[in-house]
Structure 1
Amino acid sequence: MRELKQERAVRTRAIILKAAAEVFDELGFSGANIREITQRAGITQGAMYFHFGSKEELARAVMKAQPMTVLPHLATRGLQRLIDLTFVWAHRLREDVILRAGVRLTGEQNSFGMHDPTPYQDWAAVMSECLREARAAGELSDNVDIEVLADFVVSACTGMQMYSQISCERADLMDRVVAMWQHLLPALRAPGDVSPLDGSALRAAEVLREIAPQRLGAGQETRTAP
């Protein structure tokens, strides 16, 4: 019985998070309200406050959920995993409302009194782990500072998606990510490394084909909280 309650609580929390992301994505933090979020989630405000104490807490949860919209879809390791991560991120940013809302809230947070760099730092930590694996595998040049590079890629991706959003609602974001790796990858590889690292548009398309079945399964969810 206890396990069943815990399972229901996890499902309810996920439903609230998705509903909140939809509202934040459409209206931003300032335009969003708890009533709209609970109506979309199909729950009472009391149930919402049981899981999240405030709208600010909900916003933080959406911001921190960003990496988990990408990481479960990846099977590669090292430097290829980092490249693939940015490909999946660029694709899912256009179709995953939690990722999209998290990006919006992270960029707008100063406007509602938040100054939390944690979402960026979480991405940098994920990327640093990929780079440490790459170095252990002999893929990464000894001249590369792992922490500096991870922070740079996060910054580059942040800027690219903002530019792409303004230019064409992110329609060219994948092209921008591919261009980044075409310029970066030759400078990052260790001399003599012969691993089949690939940052091309063909690789991006291959990654998206690989994750398609996972996305299909993830989309089969209920809208009513138990």
Structure 2
Amino acid sequence: MVKQDRAIRTRQTILTAAAKVFEERGYQAATISEILTTAGVTKGALYFHFPSKEDLADGVIHEQDQDLPVPSRACKVQQLVDTVVLHAYRLRTDPLVRAGVRLALDQQAQGLDRSGPFLRWSDVGTTLLRQAQAQGELMPHIEPGETADVLVGAFAGVQAMSQAVSNYQDLPRRVSALLRHILPSVVVPSVLAAVDITESRGAHVHGELREASRPTPEPCPGDPSRLLTGQ
């Protein structure tokens, strides 16, 4: 168990270092040597977890998928919005997510399969839009797969523009504007009126997830509440 915990920590240290280097230099310019120096681990430790630079980049790209998913919502359009704005929030606050996006959008990353994030986002969007359609939340003409692809492409463009203009500082505003422009042509007006697409929504969802992930402390054996409940 101790060895396993150490291996997990080492892998995370390597991924964090790789994310820093990839974000600063891009895929082509990043080197294993620089990642090793940043991580402070041996070459053997790095190659044990990641046999190549491509494997390192794949690890960084997929790391963002390990985060807790957005809780199920009764309104599937709101769940889709929350998924988008939560990613935007993490992009501003999590170096691993920023590096993963940088790699996915890096057209100079020759030899690296960058399709994964786009296909996963499209699958998630299609699934939620189909659920929304089944509940009568979408306009009659909507084809979920096509709409998901449009949203993913537009979201990627907004991320790239925000990074270039403000280093992601204006991303919540840009994402809110994107949703205000796209959703009226997709969602039934009565449903859309109740959907929260404000700039602060991402921070709210992130806080909700953090609260839900906190373990409930076990009461002390002499806790009066246990006596009252007979536990």
Length-normalised TM-score, structure 1? 0.80
| Corresponding letter in the other structure for 1:131 | L
> Which residues in structure 2 correspond to 1:1-12 (within 5 Å)?
5-12=3-10
C-alpha spacing 1:211/1:113, structure 2 compared with 1 (3 Å): same
- 16-25 vs 205-214, greater mean Cα deviation: 205-214
C-alpha spacing 1:87/1:191, structure 2 compared with 1 (3 Å): closer
- Cα offset for 1:79? 1.5
| Contact 1:62/1:98 (<8 A) preserved | yes
> Which residues in structure 2 correspond to 1:1-226 (within 5 Å)?
5-69=3-67, 72=68, 74-77=70-73, 78-190=76-188, 193=191, 196-201=194-199, 203-204=201-202, 206-211=204-209
CA RMSD of aligned residues (A): 2.8
- 165-174 vs 48-57, greater mean Cα deviation: 165-174
- Cα offset for 1:198? 2.1
In structure 1, distance between residues paired with 2:20 and 2:80: 28
Deviations 1:51-70 (A, max 9, x none): 1111111112212333434x
- Cα offset for 1:139? 1.9
Deviations 1:77-102 (A, max 9, x none): 32211101111122221221111111
| Contact 2:89/2:202 (<8 A) preserved | no
How much identity, in percent, do the aligned residues show?
Answer: 40
Gaps of at least 5 residues in structure 1 are 218-226
Deviations 1:8-28 (A, max 9, x none): 434432322122111111222
Gaps of at least 5 residues in structure 2 are 216-231
User: Between Structure 1 and Structure 2, whose CA radius of gyration is higher?
Assistant: 2
| Contact 2:22/2:30 (<8 A) preserved | yes
